[in-house]
């Protein structure tokens, strides 16, 4: 794995447009200057990784776990996006191309929730695109470590498509030798108090719970928090 690469290109600010499905106003990818010596971590996800519903992007789980580990975060995730759902571009300019251009050391894939809304009409396309996205990313980023997270879910009621898509994602993760984090679809289950006022997305407490679960999963994978330096 190519950690702490010296020559890096600072990612430009990327504005993401709101889409139907699990949507809200999009936020911009941070344009803060990034530490060139830090492990670069890119997140390929939807609103649950973008942090929609949180009072600040600092409270979304991706930013919390990145700060805990001293990672340089690149998070261009898009509201309502799926492997197929609300996606009209499958080449240059799409989200995988932004991930590839960032040249990260670690790639998180947290996709699949929104594809449940397209499942009845496009199930075959969803299954095919999962494999195509994974193949494209790993081919372009052969030295990166891939961490695939079980697709999130947002209600206690679970249509049959949820488990089907989870299975497809897990199988695709295994096919590329990625680390896989299971059970994420249950992380906020049974806690309506963890949902934002829109009833669709986590609030700050919900994202904090997700960050705790993700932190424990990453520790299991050997990615512990950065040690504190005593002064």
Determine which helix (DSSP H) or strand (DSSP E) holds 180, and give its type and residue range: strand 179-181
Q: Please list the residues that pair with 195 across neighbouring strands.
A: 202
Confidence (pLDDT) at 72: 97
Rounded to whole angstroms, the maximal C-alpha distance in the chain is 59
**Which pTM does this prediction carry?**
0.85
Confidence (pLDDT) at 30: 46
d(CA 46, CA 181): 17
Confidence (pLDDT) at 26: 38
Confidence (pLDDT) at 228: 54
d(CA 217, CA 183): 10
* Contact status, residue 46 vs residue 111, Cβ threshold 8 Å: yes
Confidence (pLDDT) at 132: 98
With tokens 């209600």, the residue in question is: 155
Task: List, in order, residues 6 or more apart from 14 with CB less than 8 Å away.
Answer: 28, 29, 76, 98
The whole-angstrom distance between residue 91's C-alpha and the CA centroid of its chain comes to: 19
DSSP letter at 54 equals: S
First and final C-alpha spacing in the chain: 31
Question: In the numeric block, which tokens belong to residue 155?
Answer: 């209600």
Query: Could you give the C-alpha distances from 74 to 16, 42, 103, 162, 221, in angstroms and in order?
Result: 13, 5, 10, 27, 21
Confidence (pLDDT) at 36: 85
Question: In the numeric block, which tokens belong to residue 133?
Answer: 């996205």
Confidence (pLDDT) at 226: 84
Residues of the chain below pLDDT 70: 1-32, 227-231
With tokens 């197929």, the residue in question is: 84
């Amino acid at each position: 794995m190519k950690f702490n690469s010296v020559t890096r290109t600072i990612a430009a600010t990327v504005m993401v447009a709101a889409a139907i499905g699990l949507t809200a106003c999009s936020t911009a990818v941070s344009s803060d200057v990034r530490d060139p010596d830090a492990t670069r971590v890119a997140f390929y996800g939807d609103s649950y990784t973008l942090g929609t519903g949180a009072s600040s992007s600092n409270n979304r789980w991706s930013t919390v776990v990145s700060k805990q580990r001293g990672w340089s975060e690149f998070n261009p995730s898009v509201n309502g996006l799926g492997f197929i759902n609300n996606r009209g571009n499958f080449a240059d300019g799409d989200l995988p191309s932004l991930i590839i251009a960032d040249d990260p050391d670690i790639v998180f894939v947290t996709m699949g929730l929104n594809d449940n809304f397209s499942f009845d009409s496009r199930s075959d396309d969803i299954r095919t695109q999962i494999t195509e996205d994974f193949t494209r990313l790993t081919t372009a980023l052969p030295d990166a470590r891939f961490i695939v997270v079980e697709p999130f879910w947002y209600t206690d009621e679970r249509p049959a498509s949820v488990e089907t898509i989870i299975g497809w994602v897990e199988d695709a993760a295994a096919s590329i030798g990625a680390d896989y984090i299971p059970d994420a679809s249950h992380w906020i289950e049974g806690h309506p108090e963890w949902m934002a006022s829109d009833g669709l997305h986590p609030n700050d407490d919900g994202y904090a719970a997700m960050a705790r679960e993700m932190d424990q999963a990453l520790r299991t994978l050997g990615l512990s928090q950065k040690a504190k330096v005593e002064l």
